[in-house]
Amino acid sequence: MALYQYVAVDPAGKRVRGMQDAANPVDLELRLKRGGLDLISARPARASQLALGRRVRRQELITFFFNLESLTQAGVPLLESLADLRDTMNDPAFRQIIANMIEGVEGGQRLSQAMAPYPRVFEPVHVSLVRAGEQSGRLAEVFGHITESLKWQDELAAQTRQLMLYPAMVLVVVLAVFLFLMLYLVPQLSGFMQNIGQAVPLQTQLLIAVSEAVASYWYLAAGLLAGAAAGIWLGARLMPGLESRIDGLKLKLWLVGPILHKIILARFANTFAMMYASGISILECIAAARDIAGNRVVAASLEQVGRRIEEGKNLTQSFAEVGLFPPLVLRMLRVGESTGALDKALLNVTYFYDRDVRESVKRIQTMIGPFLTLVLGALIGWVMFSVLMPVYDVISRTRF
């Protein structure tokens, strides 16, 4: 079969673009028709398009796995469940992916095999969990685990966005006020201050010099910042060692670094616990957690842990020798190993770090707001003092 890039129309008359496996254009039209789409045009997809693929919003995935859990628990056959989901999903691209999965299952594939060709939609962790559920006969339970994990990830992502968005907004306001003062207000007043007929104070001279520098060289500063960002991005792509150093630096950043570290550890513990509870081996759990770590330093540490376990060392000792994981994680691993409830112990780690991240985000917001407000007040105060001081001197001399 070949992969075609197509343009079709849904029942509401809206154009839909996507990609679909088919033997030929006629077969493609029939497949799209079964998915509720009418084909307009199609052409074979290029290699670059095959690599890019299409992502699906996390909310759509949560709905997908939640409904699968409910339907499976109710005893609805898998093919009927997938057909219902295909007809009810909002995202046309996701509907098409589900239609492809239905064809794969009808052709003799298991659900995990039908999910595997879409790694940008279904993470390898999800595929491994579904495979384990198929082997153990606990698919409904696995769907429930995946749903809860996706919900938790969505909340964690919202907290991370909240952590970055608020300081960024306040910083933008401070920068906008600074540029307004330097590029508009101070130049308007500088002529008056220089023609008042007396020596201009030092702080006023400094203000005028800063304003002139900003007005003359702002584009140079913006270009340097953009060039530095582009250089770092390009260097990280061309030199893997540099990207690892950047990831290590992220974990050491003031205020943000410790929170990022806790978020990564919480994601690791949640993934590990979910997979281990589904009957997946420890080495596979570590490999999956390594792939979704999102930080090369943590991923390299997990790879070292996996090698130590293969050498015959126990889990807690392997994690302790790496040196990246805090005492709380090691203590919970030790308790989980000794009691045989490793998944529950790691869920406790997830709960602890999740709560700690929430509290840390609130603390940072409480600190950053007043701090940046103080910076803004100091900036405005400096400008006003530098402007009003010469005026006050003129008024005082005129009076006496």
Q: What is the pLDDT of residue 192?
A: 66
Per-residue pLDDT, averaged over 3-23, amounts to: 77
* Same domain as 334, residue 196: yes
Around Cβ 383, how many Cβ atoms within 10 Å? 22
The sign of the dihedral angle between the CA atoms of 155, 158, 160, 162 is negative
Q: Which secondary-structure segment (H or E) carries 232?
A: helix 202-238
My answer on whether 215 and 194 are in the same domain is yes
Q: Are residues 125 and 165 in the same domain?
A: no
Instruction: Provide the pLDDT confidence category of residue 50 given band limits of 50, 70 and 90.
Output: very low
Q: How far is 208 from 203, CA to CA, in rounded Å?
A: 9
Instruction: Please indicate, yes or no, whether residues 177 and 123 belong to a single structural domain of this protein.
Output: no
Determine phi and psi for 77, rounding to 5 degrees: -60, 150
Q: Kindly state the percentage of the chain with pLDDT values over 90.
A: 2
> Are 54 and 120 a contacting pair, CB within 8 Å?
yes
> How would you label 239-255 residue by residue, b for 16+ Cβ within 10 Å and e otherwise?
eeeebbebbeebbeeee
291, with CB counted inside 10 A (0-12, 13-18, 19+), is: middle
For the residues 50-78, what does the mean pLDDT come to? 81
Same domain assignment for residues 225 and 265 = yes
| Average pLDDT, integer, range 154-169 | 75
Q: Which of 279-283, 354-358, 369-373 has the lowest mean pLDDT?
A: 369-373
- pLDDT at residue 198, as a whole number: 62
Q: How confident is the model at residue 196 (pLDDT cuts 50, 70, 90)?
A: low
The residue among 119, 151, 183 that closes a domain is 151
Which structural domain range is residue 122 located in? 58-151
* pLDDT over 50 at 52, yes or no: no
Q: Are residues 44 and 105 in the same domain?
A: no
Inter-residue contact 33 to 3 (CB < 8 Å): no
Domain tally, the chain? 3
Confidence at 229, pLDDT banded by 50, 70, 90: confident
Taking residues 323-333, what's their average pLDDT? 81
- 383 in the same domain as 236: yes
* pLDDT of 360 above 60: yes
Strand bridging mode 2-9 / 15-22: antiparallel
Per the model's pLDDT, the better-predicted residue between 1 and 320 turns out to be: 320
Q: Rounded mean pLDDT of 177-206? A: 73
Residues 41 and 112 in one domain: no
pTM: 0.63
- Regarding whether 73 and 183 lie in a shared domain, the answer is no
User: What's the whole-number average pLDDT of the chain?
Assistant: 79
pLDDT at 48: 39
Q: Let me know whether 29 and 127 are in one domain.
A: no
Predicted local confidence at residue 64, as pLDDT = 92
The answer to whether residue 65 scores a pLDDT higher than 80 is yes
- In this structure, the answer to whether residues 201 and 140 fall within a common structural domain is no
Residue 253: pLDDT band by 50, 70, 90 thresholds?
A: confident
**The pLDDT value given to residue 51:** 37
Same domain, 103 and 199: no
Weakest mean pLDDT among 46-55, 160-169, 269-278: 46-55
Identify the pLDDT of residue 398. 59
Last residue of a domain, one of 151, 168, 197: 151
